[in-house]
Amino acid sequence: MSQTTKLLMPDTEGFEDAARTLHAGGLVAFPTETVYGLGGDARNDHAVARIFEAKGRPRFNPLIVHVPDVETAKTYVEWGDAADRLASAFWPGPLTLVLPLKSDAGLSPLVTADLPTVAIRVPAHAVGRALLNAFGGPVAAPSANPSGRISPSEAAHVVAGLSGRIEAILDGGACDVGVESTILGLSGAPTLLRPGGLPVEALEQALGAPLAHHGKGDPLTAPGQMTSHYAPDARVRLDVTAPKPGERLLGFGPVDCTLNLSRAGDLTEAAANLFHHLHALDAQGDGPIAVSPIPQTGLGLAINDRLKRAAAPRDA
């Protein structure tokens, strides 16, 4: 995929152009106080799938949803006392809260990797905030770097990494914080999920208690690693070109099937449809599901990763 990536200035015209691009399902890199984010409309499956594709991210890690203020955040998550205290102390700022997702939130399941929680934050950068206000919707954004590369702290880094793969880059100069936000889990006891731009001590002081830590390494890949999480009720058989009697085919490409991930064989479209179609097949009954072969390239890696989890033998 190669396209012209527009470099937008942080003025009225630039914000309007960026907001239009997001509404149309396009991707816009924008500054936050931590790092540049690669933004897409968090309600639009196709836009969110394209974020993974543009980054070359092999797994569907859940993404952080960016909103302009606390009131907007409350429309997507179940709010509570701890969230209230922390948000009034640190938002806007480099703190991400993981909270239970409201059932009517309307976010793409790709944003949350189909988890019952969502990571949400109100960034502090004036340019990022102006974009969120101009757009008026939730923006899903990982750091705006190709997967496995260093996070971008100025627009030129984004140009170097993602030019030709996204619609636009909103230039807001250098990021103050330069390291990603601190992530705090609040769906149970407050738990530090990722250390980041807001010091843990400040959080503990605001909460009046020490934080639980989620262990060493990169615990944040954990939600996506839970095999059972992706398992539908039905048994799942992969790489099927000839379904057996009674099997329902989840197709890819021009095949006869119950539901098709992408008749055109487009992996971005298939990624956008994946969780929706698995849910739909689950709701239709518990007859076995067969799945067409999916190429192991681009977003196909992430799709096959999730499908393998769905097909893995069950514990009980």
Q: Contact positions toward ligand TXA, by CB under 6 A? A: 32, 34-35, 37, 61-64, 96, 98, 112, 115, 117-119, 141-143, 180-181, 183, 193, 220, 223
Note whether 181 binds Mg ion by CB under 5 A. no
Closest chain position to Mg ion (CB): 143
Nearer to ligand TXA, 224 or 243 (CB): 224
The CB-of-228 to Mg ion minimum distance in angstroms stands at 26
- CB under 5 to 8 A by kind: which of Mg ion, ligand TXA, none does 117 bind? ligand TXA
- CB under 5 to 8 A by kind: which of ligand TXA, Mg ion, none does 108 bind? none
The CB-of-255 to Mg ion minimum distance in angstroms stands at 36
The DSSP secondary-structure symbol of 101 reads: B
Per DSSP, the residues of 133-179 read HHH-S-EE--BSS-TTSPPPSSHHHHHHHHTTTSSEEE-----SS-S
- CB under 5 to 8 A by kind: which of Mg ion, ligand TXA, none does 14 bind? none
- CB under 5 to 8 A by kind: which of Mg ion, ligand TXA, none does 304 bind? none
- CB under 5 to 8 A by kind: which of ligand TXA, Mg ion, none does 153 bind? none
C-alpha span between 121 and 65 (Å, rounded): 6
The CB-of-239 to ligand TXA minimum distance in angstroms stands at 28
8 A C-beta contact, residue 124 and residue 94: yes
Per DSSP, the residues of 227-255 read GGGG--SS-EE-S-SSPPTTPEEEE-SS-
Of 244, 298, 311, 306, whose CA–CA distance to 273 is shortest?
306
- Segment interacting with Mg ion (CB under 5 A) among 49-57, 138-146, 217-225, 232-240: 138-146
8 A C-beta contact, residue 284 and residue 248: yes
Nearer to ligand TXA, 100 or 232 (CB): 100
At CA 293, angle to CA 315 and CA 27, rounded to 5?
Answer: 95
| Binding-site string for Mg ion from residue 92 to residue 131, where x marks contact by CB under 5 A and - marks none | ----------------------------------------
- CB under 5 to 8 A by kind: which of Mg ion, ligand TXA, none does 183 bind? ligand TXA
The DSSP secondary-structure symbol of 111 reads: T
Distance of CA 30 to the CA centre of its chain: 16
The CB-of-28 to Mg ion minimum distance in angstroms stands at 17
Report the sign of the C-alpha dihedral through residues 160, 161, 167, 172, in that order. Answer: negative
Interface with Mg ion (CB under 5 A), residue from 32, 34, 96, 143: 143
C-alpha span between 182 and 127 (Å, rounded): 21
Q: Which two tokens stand for residue 122?
A: 């109100």
The CB-of-232 to ligand TXA minimum distance in angstroms stands at 20
CA dist list (Å): 41 to 22, 31, 124, 183, 220: 6, 16, 19, 21, 22
- CB under 5 to 8 A by kind: which of ligand TXA, Mg ion, none does 172 bind? none
Applying CB under 5 A, the residues found at the interface with Mg ion are 143
